[in-house]
Amino acid sequence: MKKINPFKNGLKPVAILAANKEHGTRLKYLSGCKCPDCRRANTTYQCAREVEKKRGDWNGIVPATKARKHMLKLSEQGIGRRAVHAVTDISLTILHDIRTGTKKNIRARTERKILAVTPDLASEGALISAAPTWHLIRQLLAKGYTKRQLAKMLICDANALQISQKQVRVRTAEAIARLYKKLEAEGFITAKHYEPEETLPANTYRIKPGVIEHRMGE
Ligand SMILES: [Zn+2]
C-alpha cells in the first residue's frame, strides 16, 4: 500500500483524521490500527473497489491515437481493416477513418475492442468452407427447429446469422457447432415441431442454403 505523506497538498495526516473515528473504519485502518474490525472495514472497501473496476465499462470519448497505432501495427502483421471489422463489428467506415486519422476521437468501447484484436483473435474472422456448418443447420431443421428459432438462439452473435452458402467465418462456424452440441445434449426437445419418433424422412424440411438471414421474417 502506498504510504501517505500527510503534509503534502494540505492534506491532514491520516492519524489526525482518524483520531476521532470509531474502530471498524478504513480511515482508522490506514492510520495504523490492525484490529479485526478495522481490517474488515479495509477489506470490504477494497473488494468494492475491485468490483467497480471490473464492472468498468466506461464509454466516454477518447483520442483515437492508440487505436490507430494498434491498427497500423496489426496491418504490418497482415491484419487489415476487414479482419478487424470481422471480429469487432465496428463499421468499415469508422475503421477507415480511424486508420487515416480523419477520426480524431472515438468511444472508449470502440478503442477497447480494437486494442483487443490480436493476430490470434483475427483468425476467428477468417473464412472457411460453409459446408460443415450447413450440414449442422440442415440437421437442426430436420429435427423440427424453425429458421426463426435458430436465428433467435444465435442472436447473441448477430453476424452468425449472415450465413453464405460457400464460406463462413471461423467464429460463426464455431457458434453454430456450439449451438448444435447444446441442443443435442438436450435431446433436441426444444424444437418447435418436435417429433419424438423420427418418422419423417430427412428431406421433408429441405431448405435452400442461404435462407437463414438476419432479417428473416417468418
Ligand atoms: Zn481498529
Q: Which three-class secondary structure state does DSSP give residue 62? A: strand
Residue 9 alpha carbon to ligand 1 centre in Å: 27
The alpha carbon torsion through 78, 80, 85, 87 (nearest 10 deg) reads 10
Residue 40 alpha carbon to ligand 1 centre in Å: 9
Residue where the block lists cell 469508422: 94
Residue 73 alpha carbon to ligand 1 centre in Å: 52
Report which of 9, 12, 7, 43 is spatially closest to residue 21, judged by C-alpha positions.
12
The CA distance from 106 to 101, in Å, is 11
The CA distance from 192 to 181, in Å, is 17
- Angle at the Cα of 105 from the Cα atoms of 54 and 99, rounded to 5 degrees: 105
Kindly give the confidence (pLDDT) of every residue in the chain, 218 residues in length, as a single tens digit, with 9 standing for 90 and above.
Answer: 444 444 444 445 667 667 777 898 887 888 888 999 999 988 887 777 677 666 666 777 889 999 999 999 988 887 888 888 878 889 999 999 999 999 999 988 899 899 988 877 767 667 778 888 999 999 999 999 887 788 888 765 444 456 788 887 777 888 888 899 999 998 898 887 765 544 444 444 434 344 443 333 32
Residue 33 alpha carbon to ligand 1 centre in Å: 5
Residue 50 alpha carbon to ligand 1 centre in Å: 23
Residue 14 alpha carbon to ligand 1 centre in Å: 14
Here the cell at position 66 is 492508440
Distance of CA 210 to CAs 109, 164, 216, Å?
32, 5, 11
